[in-house]
Chains A and B, each alone.
Chain A
């Protein structure tokens, strides 16, 4: 899990964690619900990982990507009576398309400008959700979705949970591999040395669009989970605050690995559900924690855990990008 060479250790340890999580929550409706919520956030945070954490493009329209994906999926599943195996991917594709269109419109922008415009887009989108009654069912949203059908069979809640946790594991692992691949290296280099990437013949704008599209597709799975778990989909689920929540997850969990985004989701959900004082202070505690991490612990929880483990192993200082692209 530390050096690029030991990609296998990473896959196995994380798979063990995933399975452990499945077993731990199995049979308890509460824990399953919590697990589903955690996975929902995890998908959004993972969706932000590639373009934002790796690529340095802070697009804040993620509530829109979620919403588009989820509504598309729900419409196909309700009106079209489609199997989840079809409606979900199509939702992802539509979300990706949205991201590409917005990304193209804002291709000249970066930093604060990009954040502001995409945030505006997200806000306008929420207005539209309530406004476009004929498409989105307006404020009522889309009620009474049936039990999701996957590969022909109706999906029981606990099966859904298992599949979802598995999916999170797969996505995070895929991103982790991508991160060390040439593509991932180019995206990461784009964050601080875009000119250099461009000078190597790589059109940075295309690179950004591709990563935005992939990010939106991943995040939209989280949106579809809202719909699947609640048998209904309401505009409230796609307010902009969810964007803020999920931006902070990878930072809190740790930027060095996609697993940090997942850990961030776990931590946030834990705060929200376990710490009663946290409720009284709203998200104050959470945002202060994020500030603290940003200022004094930029590597996030996971980053320091990795360093710690490596120290234990007697390896020198953590070389987080160590041995990139050797795997494969």
Chain B
């Protein structure tokens, strides 16, 4: 289908005897937010790694924008329009928030050797490359404002965890992705941070992209997602409407079962 952004078909991944993912299939359509929830060890992280490119599936196919999702992360960003944030924010702490987000803006132009050489020359001559025009037009500021991220001239080592997550989201946004992967964006975020993420998601959807939202916090995810996929012990046990999911017996089993155990 044309508006099918991400598709996983029968994906398997095992670490020795442990089956981290067991024949998982997923779909994500344009303008859709898919919440990916499940307790620890459910296989969320593994799935994220397979999509992000840190690991390769044992079997099964993952395609994005109709092209196989494979190769180095940079290739996935270029070819499949994938952008992502990280469970542990990957931000250069000695750079300012603005500079970290600028990397997202620069991504498309620096994706190829020729592009890098062009930017190299442009950087030395200080003359207008696309990025520099855009940043001159305040692209970064616009996004930062949209996320409610203040004073982006601060070095990132001065930012809170929540702010760092916003910087990551902003960086991802600025690459103009077709598919955004948000890995636990709410962990360590305060209400203000959560609001920022909400804004970001709204922004993404406006450009007709899809979002995969991975988090422990089922309630927030449910409030944001159009659809929820519930993973448990490496298998997808539920896929459907958030409210239905919250009410579903699987949900009860997975979470309250876990609570009792805990």
Contact = CB atoms under 8 A, between A and B. Distances in A.
A207 B108 CA distance: 13
A7 B126 CA distance: 10
Contacts of A196: 86, 90-92, 100, 103, 168, 171
B132 A182 contact: yes
Contacts of A182: 102-103, 105-106, 109-110, 119, 123, 129, 131-132, 135
B90 to A, nearest CB: 4
Nearest to B116: A210
Interface residues of B, number: 54
A174 interface: yes
Contacts of B172: 199-200
B203 interface: no
Contacts of A199: 52, 73-74, 77, 83-84, 86, 90, 172
Contacts of A314: none
A185 interface: yes
A110 interface: no
Interface string B125-168: 11111011001100000000000000001010000000000001
Contacts of B93: 192
Interface residues of A, number: 39
A319 to B, nearest CB: 7
A239 interface: no
Contact of A178 (B95, B103, B124, B131): B124
A321 interface: yes
A201 B175 contact: yes
A326 B132 CA distance: 8
A257 interface: no
Contacts of B95: 185, 188-189, 321, 324
Which residue, of A185, A201, A210, A214, has the highest number of chain B Cβ atoms within 10 A?
A201
A146 B230 CA distance: 78
A117 interface: no
A231 interface: no
B113 interface: yes
B7 interface: no
Contacts of B104: 200
Nearest to A196: B90
Contact of A200 (B98, B103, B128): B103
Nearest to A204: B74
A140 interface: no
Interface in B76-96: 77-78, 83-84, 86, 90-96
A92 to B, nearest CB: 15
Which residue, of A197, A199, A214, A322, has the highest number of chain B Cβ atoms within 10 A?
A199
B107 A185 contact: no
B198 to A, nearest CB: 22
Contacts of A189: 92, 95, 99-100, 103
A184 B119 CA distance: 9
B122 A181 contact: yes
A321 B96 contact: yes
Nearest to A322: B153
A129 to B, nearest CB: 31
B116 A185 contact: no
A182 to B, nearest CB: 4
B127 A328 contact: yes
B123 A181 contact: yes
A159 interface: no
Sorted nearest first, the 10 A-B pairs with minimum C-beta distance are A181-B123, A201-B77, A200-B107, A196-B90, A182-B106, A328-B126, A201-B107, A189-B92, A183-B119, A203-B74
Interface of B: 52, 72-75, 77-78, 83-84, 86, 90-96, 98-100, 102-113, 116-117, 119-120, 122-129, 131-132, 135-136, 153, 155, 168, 171-172, 175
7 contacts: A182-B132, A182-B135, A195-B73, A198-B74, A202-B116, A207-B116, A324-B99
